[in-house]
Amino acid sequence: MSLRRRLLALIILILPLSLLAGGLLSYFYALSVVENELTAALGLAGTTVREASSQISPSGGPEQHLARLVSTFDNDRDVGVSLVAPDGSVLRSSRPMQAVPPAPEWLKRALYAKPIIIDIPLPAEISHLGAIRLEGKADNEISEVWEEMKLQFAILAGFFALVLWLVSLTLNRALRPLDNLARALSEVRQGNFSAHVDENGPEELNIIYREFNRMAQGLQEAKHRNKLLSSQLSAVQEEERKELARDLHDEIGPFLFAVDVDAQTIPQFLERGASGEVVARAGAIRQSIAHMQGHVRAILGRLRPAQLLDLGLDQAIDQLIAFWTRRQPEVDISADIDQASYGHEIDEVAFRIVQESLNNAIRHGAPARIAIKAHAQCASNPAVLKLSIIDDGSGISPASSPGFGIEGMRERAEAVGGTLEVSPNALTSGVAVIATLPLPTGVCLCTAQPSGNNSHKTNNDTEGKGLEI
Ligand SMILES: Nc1ncnc2c1ncn2[C@@H]1O[C@H](COP(=O)(O)OP(=O)(O)O)[C@@H](O)[C@H]1O
Ligand SMILES: [Mg+2]
């Protein structure tokens, strides 16, 4: 059952209950009113009758006096007076006032079931004429009570009708936005995150509507971000494919050609018996193959860093540096990594941050030097890896629009409970990318000794001055 119907049913149930309670209260009140009124009226009438009858003399026509006495009670509201003969027959009666409008019989029976009758004997000298009988007449009182009851019931019913109307009106207005909320939720379920609910209900519901609107807006933004990310991802994939094709063509192609040429000349040298040349060609072929192996390893490292990371973060970063140095020999890239590994998860995040930062520096900044540093700070609580990639390039231009590379690095750092800052290089021009990544327990204890593998190594053998943090 809906909330609206439940509330209205409750109010409708209260109506008969309060009518019943009001009716009972009115009944007991009316009962005492009728009794008190009649007792007072009968007392007064009894006194009047006794006084008047005591002054009637037996010689002065007592019958007429008695008839006059009875008729003085004509039109009395509460008392009927009769002259009753000694044999019990009623000789004459007063005409009590008629109750207008008359009360229903059931009410009369309920309030005045047994009439009060008082017989007042006449004085001894005229006692042979019978007695005066007083009878309480409650019709007028009951009719008044009935009119009051009808008025009270009408007021109560009117009040309840008003309450019902107001409650149903208020509920309708308050709950109407819930229908809108249900409609909006179903829109969200169908993937339409632009759904919105007006916050024009009562405050309690407005909180829900506000939260719903925020949730829908959040979903809308997430959807938008996802869309951008996937288009960015396809662009990056496309770019990587192109790079791969270029690498294979430019780096592997010439060596394959050289191997082919060298291999073709070997039979001719053999025919001529120039064994020295054969050995020289074989040596050249091996050299070409060694070059190709180096390139293939670098390409694989870019494609599958996880595999590369099995060798350790320092080795993986070395491969990255080798990759860029082959393409940009004029850029001096140095690495100072104090441990071979910081745990698999942190290694992977650190590698991706270094990879993207190198990409950014070389592609956007045209730097002369790039310094990569990874130091485990085991004394801090919790132990963290401080990773920095600092270049002395042009720096981020204020006009540049934010891409997903920096956002992706930050998301990776935050996913492992760390932070990432990208700021201008404090000492020269350029950019400083600084990540703080919490280290898993055990990393500091087990491998606290620096690996020494590539600590302070630079590809051009120069110091990374101005690139310290
Ligand atoms: N080291 C850097 N030197 C100069 N400009 C940078 C550097 N890193 C980032 N930027 C600028 O910040 C922008 C956003 O970088 P990023 O989020 O990686 O996106 P993307 O590289 O895809 O453009 C870049 O387009 C570039 O203009
Ligand atoms: Mg980038």
pLDDT 10s digits, 8-29: 888 888 888 888 888 888 889 8
Examine residue 101 and say whether the peptide bond preceding it is cis (omega within 30 degrees of 0): yes
Residue 296 has pLDDT above 90, yes or no: no
What is the distance in A from the centroid of ligand 1 to the CA of 466?
21
- The best mutation among 355, 357, 360, 433 to test binding of ligand 1, ranked by most ligand atoms within 8 Å of the C-beta, falls on 360
Domain for residue 312, yes or no? no
Give percent of the chain above pLDDT 70: 94
Distant-in-sequence contacts of 202-211, Cβ < 8 A, 24+ apart: 202/174, 205/174, 205/177, 205/178, 208/181, 209/177, 209/181
CATH number, domain with residue 66: 3.30.450
Mean pLDDT, residues 371-392 taken together: 94
pLDDT reported for residue 190:
92
pLDDT reported for residue 445:
57
pLDDT reported for residue 180:
84
Domain for residue 354, yes or no? yes
Domain boundary among 116, 144, 162: 162
Q: Place 133 in a pLDDT band, splitting at 50, 70 and 90.
A: very high
Q: Is any atom of ligand 1 closer than 6 Å to the C-beta of 393?
A: yes
- The best mutation among 240, 355, 363, 364 to test binding of ligand 1, ranked by most ligand atoms within 8 Å of the C-beta, falls on 364
**Most confidently modeled of 48-57, 294-303, 385-394, 451-460?**
385-394
Tokens of 362: 């070389």
Residue 453 has pLDDT above 50, yes or no: no
For the stretch 224-246, pLDDT in tens is: 988 988 888 788 788 878 878 88
Residue whose CA is at the smallest distance from ligand 1 atom 3: 365
Q: Place 400 in a pLDDT band, splitting at 50, 70 and 90.
A: confident
Q: What angle do CA 347, 350, 352 make, to 5 degrees?
A: 110
pLDDT reported for residue 467:
56
Q: What are the C-alpha distances in Å from 247 to residues 166, 242, 304, 420? A: 79, 8, 16, 31
* Total of domains in the chain: 2
Domain for residue 167, yes or no? no
- Which atom of ligand 1 is found nearest the CA of 408? 17
Domain boundary among 147, 162, 177: 162
Cα–Cα dist 254/296, whole Å: 14
Mean pLDDT, residues 319-326 taken together: 87
Q: Is any atom of ligand 1 closer than 6 Å to the C-beta of 410?
A: no
pLDDT reported for residue 461:
42
For the stretch 311-320, pLDDT in tens is: 889 998 998 8
Domain for residue 432, yes or no? yes
**Strand bridging mode 369-377 / 332-337:** parallel
What is the distance in A from the centroid of ligand 1 to the CA of 303?
21
What is the distance in A from the centroid of ligand 1 to the CA of 434?
15
For the stretch 254-291, pLDDT in tens is: 899 989 989 999 999 999 988 899 999 999 999 999 98
Cα–Cα dist 395/428, whole Å: 9
What is the distance in A from the centroid of ligand 1 to the CA of 392?
14
pLDDT reported for residue 416:
93
Domain for residue 52, yes or no? yes
For the stretch 172-224, pLDDT in tens is: 877 777 888 899 999 999 989 998 988 877 788 889 989 999 999 999 999 99
Ligand having the closest approach to the CA of 431: 1
**Range(s) of the domain holding residue 415:** 331-469
pLDDT reported for residue 454:
46
Domain for residue 217, yes or no? no
Q: Is any atom of ligand 1 closer than 6 Å to the C-beta of 134?
A: no
Q: Is any atom of ligand 1 closer than 6 Å to the C-beta of 367?
A: no
* 293 against 333, higher pLDDT: 333
User: Which sign does the torsion angle of CA 324, 330, 331, 332 carry?
Assistant: positive
Domain boundary among 128, 143, 162: 162
CATH number, domain with residue 444: 3.30.565.10
Mean pLDDT, residues 378-388 taken together: 92
Residue 163 has pLDDT above 80, yes or no: yes
pLDDT reported for residue 120:
92
What is the distance in A from the centroid of ligand 2 to the CA of 66?
127
Q: pLDDT averaged over the chain? A: 86
Domain for residue 54, yes or no? yes
Domain for residue 45, yes or no? yes
